[in-house]
Amino acid sequence: MAPAASQALRHNAEANPTVGTAVTDVQPGTQPTVISAAEHLDCVERPDKPEEACGVFAVLATEQPVANLTYFGLYALQHRGQESAGIAVFEQGTGLAGGPRVRMHKDMGLVSQVFDQEVLERLPGELAIGHNRYSTTGSSKACNAQPVLLNTRLGPFAFAHNGNLVNAAELRQAIAAQIPEVEFTSTTDSELIAFAIQHGVNSGLDWDGAIREAASRCRGAFSLVIGTPEGLFALRDGHGIRPLVFGHMGERSSAQWVVSSETCGLDIIGASYDGDVEPGEIIHFSLGDPEPRRSRWTSEPAKLCVFEMIYFARPDSRFFGESLYSYRVRIGEVLARETPVEADIVIGVPDSGIPAAIGYSQRSGIPFGDGLIKNRYVGRTFIQPTQAMREAGIRVKLNPLPDVLAGKRVVVIDDSIVRGTTSRKLVAAIRDAGATEVHMRISSPPVTHPCFYGIDTDTQDQLIAARLTLEEIAAHLGVDSLAYLSKQGMVEAAQAQASQFCTACFDGAYPIVMDEAVSSSKLMLEPSGIAAAVRA
């Protein structure tokens, strides 16, 4: 590119408005028109569970309502992020110089709150990039909503990211040095990857080359979908820590492609599952091309987050050829074998504890019952219960059934314990409902280390299993007995190679080397309690 043109092309984030609806053309320096904007909304209370980072979804298809399809894909992936949602749509041939026009709408809130039919009708085109966000790097603010939309010398691109970088500070410094005029509009690591791609393109690389180069500058977890004037790119980090799958709609020869964080996103729009975007793979889907171009951009050992299997991903999503429901039932069977107890009823903490409770019941012969009813008709609330409500227990979300629990020795199956605050209230509520004994069984090993790869697990000093012994945790929760699934049992139930998984939050074996500043930000304790036992 000629220097003058290069200078004229501003590297700042002008095409990446915070929230609302934006329209951008190919023309370098185009200011998007922001039609509406929302207030910043900060998350008010941290839940007592690991929180999933994000969901990504993309559709490339002609003569299809790609925005509507993406809406439903994001709707299916709502569990992966409830703080903001966004869709960017490319319409070919309607922008300047015959390039694509990109329209984007994003805002704080659930998918069903951010979009309505009127908004979706204003997003015509052939390529849609969608994103649901839960904050990991960068707080829960409107400016951090995705997709990120930037211009380059080759036209605009829209970018959505699931995961978390562990070298974000270093990358930010490098980008600021490389692009002196850069204006960061968010506090997320995702924007940094987008700027790295933009820089690569503006330095003369093509899309494929710029995306590969940007990926090679990143360390951490990243599953990406990227919309460009040349089609859709999907990419996973070398370890494949976060999932990403692809499939097609209609006949495969019609080349109508869909990329989703999980297979449940394919199912909801009737798309067939073709396969995973493999760890270290980049796939380029082009309009009308019946064969996506697949290649590796790096080669490293696969390390899928095992917590996706245990808890994060939807039970109807398929991993390793089966639904996670089946895996979680098997986990319950292993848990029953490893940690038997005499009891009258097995209950699960809805929703993710239910399949493991069914498995525990099947293996132990103890009847399964619905002892806890979850309010399924609400999304995440940003309104805090009053202090009096808090003291009254956790019944905003879960309500025990005295008819089922009274006079019974109860085994309660939950998928994990993080801080223990919710579990403690839950145990008290079950006792209040008349249970004579409460035995807690956890369908994962103790969480002793924080996650740096896109899951929000608190700092180590807040993880109860990093601070207390098993007996101390049992006493703190007020249970008659407590036992966790072993790491070996967790892997055995997966019927896959142990080495295929990241299990770092259970054993501290982080697959990606981190800067000292990153690791010390969450690793605050010397090993103690269960953490010491896990390491021993």
* Catalytic positions, written as ranges: 54
CB nearer to ligand SF4: give 25 or 262: 262
CB of 530 to ligand SF4, least distance (A): 15
Backbone phi, then psi, for 254, in 5-degree steps?
-80, -5
Minimum CB separation from ligand SF4 for residue 197, in Å?
24
Nearer to ligand SF4, 16 or 460 (CB): 460
Q: Which of 85, 453, 467, 493 binds ligand SF4 (CB under 6 A)?
A: 453
- Coil, strand, or helix at residue 5? helix
> Quick one: 159 or 453, whose CB is closer to ligand SF4?
453
Q: Which stretch binds ligand SF4 (CB under 6 A): 151-159, 243-251, 280-288, 305-313?
A: 305-313
Whether 295 and 281 have beta carbons less than 8 Å apart is answered as yes
**Could you say which residues in the range 319-338 bind ligand SF4, by CB under 6 A?**
none
Of 75-94, binders to ligand SF4 (CB under 6 A) are none
Closer of 207 and 307 to ligand SF4 (Cβ): 307
Closest separation between CB of residue 508 and ligand SF4, Å? 9
In whole angstroms, what separates CA 61 from the centre of its chain? Answer: 25
Nearer to ligand SF4, 59 or 310 (CB): 310
Tell me whether the omega of the peptide bond preceding residue 351 falls within 30 degrees of 0, making it cis.
yes
CB of 502 vs ligand SF4, minimal distance in Å? 3
- Applying CB under 6 A, the site for ligand SF4 has a residue count of 11
Specify the DSSP class assigned to residue 367: P
C-beta separation of 449 from 531 below 8 A: yes
Residues 117-136 that bind ligand SF4 (CB under 6 A): none
Minimal distance in Å, beta carbon 532 to ligand SF4?
18
Question: Do strands 245-249 and 481-484 pair parallel, antiparallel, or not at all (unpaired)?
Answer: unpaired
305 makes contact with ligand SF4 (CB under 6 A): yes
Q: No. of H helices and E strands in the chain? A: 20, 24
- Would you say 165 or 306 has its CB closer to ligand SF4? 306
DSSP strands (E only) in 359-505: 372-374, 398-400, 409-414, 437-442, 481-484, 501-502
Burial, 478: exposed, middle or buried (Cβ in 10 Å; 0-12, 13-18, 19+)?
middle
Q: Which stretch binds ligand SF4 (CB under 6 A): 60-68, 70-78, 342-350, 500-508?
A: 500-508
Which range touches ligand SF4 (CB under 6 A), out of 7-15, 319-327, 471-479, 499-507?
Answer: 499-507
User: Do 484 and 446 form a contact (C-beta atoms < 8 A)?
Assistant: yes
Q: At CA 361, angle to CA 464 and CA 413, rounded to 5?
A: 15
Stretch that binds ligand SF4, among 8-16, 299-307, 376-384, 419-427 (CB under 6 A): 299-307
Out of 234, 276, 503, 531, the only residue in the binding site for ligand SF4 (CB under 6 A) is: 503
Q: How far does Cα 146 stand from its chain's mean position?
A: 13
Q: Is 455 in the site for ligand SF4 (CB under 6 A)?
A: yes
- Residue 451 binds ligand SF4, judged by CB under 6 A: yes
Cβ-based nearer residue to ligand SF4, 241 or 277: 241
Q: Is the Cβ of residue 136 or residue 188 nearer to ligand SF4 in the bound state?
A: 136
Piece of 125-133, 172-180, 276-284, 300-308 that binds ligand SF4 (CB under 6 A): 300-308
CA dihedral sign, ordered 292, 297, 301, 307: negative
Residue 86 or 163 with smaller CB distance to ligand SF4: 163
Contact between 427 and ligand SF4 by CB under 6 A: the answer reads no
Q: Is 241 in the site for ligand SF4 (CB under 6 A)?
A: yes
Residue 290 DSSP code: S
Q: Which is nearer to ligand SF4, 19 or 505 (CB)?
A: 505
502 binds ligand SF4 (CB under 6 A): yes
CA distance 295 to 297: 7
List the one residue out of 225, 146, 227 whose CA is nearest residue 187: 146
Residue that has been written with the tokens 């986990």 in this structure: 331
Residue owning tokens 């956790």: 394
Q: Stretches 12-20, 75-83, 350-358, 448-456: which one binds ligand SF4 (CB under 6 A)?
A: 448-456
Closest of 260, 223, 263 to residue 241, by C-alpha: 223
Give the C-alpha separation, 25 to 104, whole Å: 12
Report the 10 Å Cβ neighbour count for 516.
8
Kindly state the smallest distance separating residue 240's Cβ from ligand SF4, in Å.
11
d(C-alpha 135, C-alpha 186), whole Å: 12
Residue from 504, 514, 530, 531 binding ligand SF4 (CB under 6 A)? 504
The residue within the footprint of ligand SF4, chosen from 195, 307, 319, 327 (CB under 6 A), is 307
Cβ at position 361, least distance to ligand SF4 in Å: 27
Q: How many CB atoms lie within 10 A of CB 65?
A: 18
CB of 115 to ligand SF4, least distance (A): 29
- Using CB under 6 A as the binding rule, whether residue 505 contacts ligand SF4 is answered as yes
DSSP letter at 96 equals G
Query: 437 φ, ψ to 5°?
Result: -140, 145
User: Which 14-33 residues touch ligand SF4, going by CB under 6 A?
Assistant: none
What the block records as the tokens of 184 is 């960061």
Q: How far is the CB of 357 from ligand SF4 (least distance, A)?
A: 22
CB-side exposure of 357: number of CA atoms within 13 Å?
24
Q: How far is the CB of 311 from ligand SF4 (least distance, A)?
A: 9
| Contacts for 291 with CB less than 8 Å, ≥ 6 apart | none
- Residues at the interface with ligand SF4 (CB under 6 A): 241, 305-307, 451, 453, 455, 502-505
